[in-house]
């Protein structure tokens, strides 16, 4: 926290931290699998972009941040889990306008947890529901202003589903509450919404594109409707915590035969090989 390593139980945030009062901050989550960070460079690149978009100065260099992340993982003895990074504009007297003197505040912590995307959900698939997208107009910035996402996720959980795929006013799927949404069309191509201010350009999304290009699988970036989602050959989602996870039911519609399809199952295996390889930064250097 702000240059010091402190026990989780005593870490605290000032009441006038702008992240607390205005959601004036950004964050990233980096998976750790078998002691290695997955797509760490891509996540740090996107963090830098989010800071630029909000005109927040980085509290340290990228190299220093990389060292801090590694040290937090080491001190917490995390082999499989994730690292959470949050940077806010800092502490200042409450005012909607940006303060002149505030120094950015940074928090980095690491938790151990079961690896997503390589376990039971990847093998058996999950259920999602559809819900209206109620978020703001700059979803491309990974801010801590996540209340609409939380409402969508809660709606999914109350319906017994894993995730909510959100749709815009024209009936096109944008993304999940914490994931990117994909379908497989009749020709076996992967289809996902193109990057714009309306979605977050997922780092796992970028890694998938790089990995499937090597495997000769075609990706088509275009909007698709709720109706196309419900009638898709296969459906899956991607995220840092889930990697590539098959979707076997959307709302009340069973996808395919209710089991992970052949294309999605291949993607799961591609990701499993990727996270076990020496190169776990496929997204590095791609546009975020």
CA 226 vs CA 103, 168, 171, 180, 229: distances in Å: 44, 10, 6, 15, 5
Check if 113 is active-site.
no
Instruction: State pLDDT tens for residues 29-82.
Output: 999 999 999 999 999 999 999 999 999 999 999 999 999 999 999 999 999 999
CA 235 to chain centroid: 17
- Rounded CA separation 49/39 (Å): 16
CA 60 to chain centroid: 23
- Rounded CA separation 2/87 (Å): 10
pLDDT of residue 259: 96
How many degrees, rounded to 5, is the angle at CA 165 between CA 124 and CA 50? 110
Beta-carbon contacts of residue 87 (< 8 Å; ≥ 6 apart): 25, 26, 27, 47, 51, 56, 58, 59, 104, 105, 106, 107
pLDDT of residue 116: 67
Other CB atoms within 10 A of residue 138 CB: 14
In angstroms, how far is the first alpha carbon of the chain from the final one?
Answer: 26
> Are the beta carbons of 176 and 165 closer than 8 angstroms?
yes
Other CB atoms within 10 A of residue 254 CB: 12
pLDDT of residue 117: 66
Which domains does the chain carry?
Answer: 8-112 (3.30.470.10), 120-276 (3.20.10.10)
Instruction: State the DSSP code for 70.
Output: H
- Rounded CA separation 284/253 (Å): 37
Q: Which of 113, 120, 142, 153 is catalytic?
A: 142
Q: How confident is the model at residue 244 (pLDDT cuts 50, 70, 90)?
A: very high
Instruction: State pLDDT tens for residues 171-218.
Output: 999 999 999 999 999 999 999 999 999 999 999 999 999 999 999 999
CA 129 vs CA 106, 126, 162, 177, 185: distances in Å: 35, 10, 8, 11, 19
Beta-carbon contacts of residue 196 (< 8 Å; ≥ 6 apart): 140
Q: What percent of the chain has pLDDT over 70?
A: 99
Global confidence as pTM: 0.95
- Rounded CA separation 249/261 (Å): 12
φ/ψ (deg, to 5) at 74: -65, -45
φ/ψ (deg, to 5) at 182: -135, 150
- Rounded CA separation 17/24 (Å): 9
Instruction: State pLDDT tens for residues 113-170.
Output: 887 666 788 899 999 999 999 999 999 999 999 999 999 999 999 999 999 999 999 9
């Amino acid at each position: 926290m702000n240059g010091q390593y402190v026990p989780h139980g005593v870490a605290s945030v000032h009441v006038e931290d702008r992240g607390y009062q205005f959601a004036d901050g950004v964050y990233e989550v980096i998976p750790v699998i078998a002691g290695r960070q997955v797509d760490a460079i891509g996540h740090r690149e996107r963090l830098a972009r989010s800071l630029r978009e909000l005109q927040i100065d980085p509290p340290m260099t990228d190299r220093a941040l990389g060292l801090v992340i590694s040290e937090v993982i080491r001190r917490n003895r995390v082999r499989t889990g994730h690292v959470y990074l949050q940077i806010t504009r800092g502490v200042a007297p409450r005012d909607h306008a940006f303060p002149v003197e505030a120094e950015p505040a940074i928090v980095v912590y690491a938790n151990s947890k079961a690896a997503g995307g390589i376990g039971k959900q990847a093998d058996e698939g999950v259920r999602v529901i559809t819900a209206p997208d109620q978020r703001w107009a700059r979803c491309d910035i990974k801010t801590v202003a996540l209340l609409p996402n939380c409402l969508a996720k809660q709606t999914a959980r109350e319906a017994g589903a894993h995730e909510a795929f959100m749709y815009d006013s024209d009936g096109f799927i944008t993304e999940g509450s914490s994931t990117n949404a994909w379908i497989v069309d009749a020709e076996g191509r992967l289809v996902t919404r193109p990057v714009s201010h309306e979605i977050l350009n997922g780092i796992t999304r970028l890694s998938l594109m790089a990995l499937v290009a090597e495997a000769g699988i075609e990706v088509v970036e275009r909007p698709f409707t709720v109706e196309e989602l419900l009638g898709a050959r296969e459906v899956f989602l991607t995220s840092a915590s889930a990697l590539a996870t098959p979707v076997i039911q959307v709302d009340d519609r069973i996808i395919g035969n209710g089991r992970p399809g052949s294309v999605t199952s291949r993607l799961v295996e591609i990701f499993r090989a990727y996270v076990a390889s020496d190169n776990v930064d496929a997204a590095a250097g791609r546009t975020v």
